[in-house]
Copies of this chain bind each other. A is one copy, B any other.
């Protein structure tokens, strides 16, 4: 069986079977990861280009490791060391990368829709590694993988996504994927951080954290973008932490077996208390570890090597 999509731009067009296939492919690579020799020759001779217009340790490194463990050649291209300073358009940059025979371009960009623009312009496969406030599909896929790894079924699963949902590509991709798989998704945050009409995406809205967390099995905390504080989405960081920060007290509102997730990097003491981040219910580092396996799966399926 193979993925019928050339690109991974959004989770919207993926079927439940597509998602299933990606998770199962990741399974086989997760096993590889645990072995002494963590490499497979699947993508030997292929080229993956990480085209990152925004800084990101985690995602860039995760894709780089995933590609290297598949034995692909990886080129990192970030704007500061590039012709972007010379005013070249995104598409011209990408066409040049394609002309050099990049098989897969992994794009991180500050504009929503950049990945789609790129995919329309090049023949290489494009993976969206985050485009503005739009989507971050591999993050949602690794979140799904992590939930599934804990033995939870998606059908009827109660999930609370907490924080600045309006400006979160992680939230958007997760809502699309989780609702598609039959989960009951809640979004929790102050009115300034919940988009109007989000109920149409099939989610329930909560403004009080305690209400939102009640009986959920998965708590997905979003990172507070501290640099956005000036935009008056909330009065102060302290106020935000008091109302929406996840403490061990609040975790008790949820199902006793609930897991705590966070896409990272975490702001300790802001959206998540240190004792929660480091608790047994936290799967934050599992998410990071699974990210490599899931991205190996996606790169492998995208490459058509299967």
CB neighbours of A266 from chain B (8 A): 88, 92
Taking a contact as CB atoms under 8 Å apart, the answer to whether A73 and B65 are in contact is: yes
Q: A69 and B73 in contact (CB under 8 A), knowing A37-B44, A56-B83? A: yes
CB neighbours of A247 from chain B (8 A): none
Q: A61 and B38 in contact (CB under 8 A), knowing A92-B266, A265-B88, A285-B96? A: no
What 1/0 flags go to A220-232 for Cβ under 8 Å of B? 0000001000000
CB neighbours of A291 from chain B (8 A): 100
Taking a contact as CB atoms under 8 Å apart, the answer to whether A285 and B47 are in contact is: no
Besides A33-B101, A37-B45, A83-B264, 14 other CB < 8 A contacts?
A38-B45, A38-B47, A55-B82, A57-B84, A57-B88, A58-B83, A58-B96, A61-B77, A65-B101, A69-B73, A92-B268, A96-B288, A99-B289, A101-B292
A49 to chain B, nearest CB (A): 8
CB of A87 within 8 Å of the partner chain = yes
A229 to chain B, nearest CB (A): 12
CB of A306 within 8 Å of the partner chain = no
Q: Contact size class for A?
A: 35 or more
A39 nearest CB neighbor, chain B only? B45
Taking a contact as CB atoms under 8 Å apart, the answer to whether B37 and A100 are in contact is: no
A67 nearest CB neighbor, chain B only? B73
CB of A95 within 8 Å of the partner chain = yes
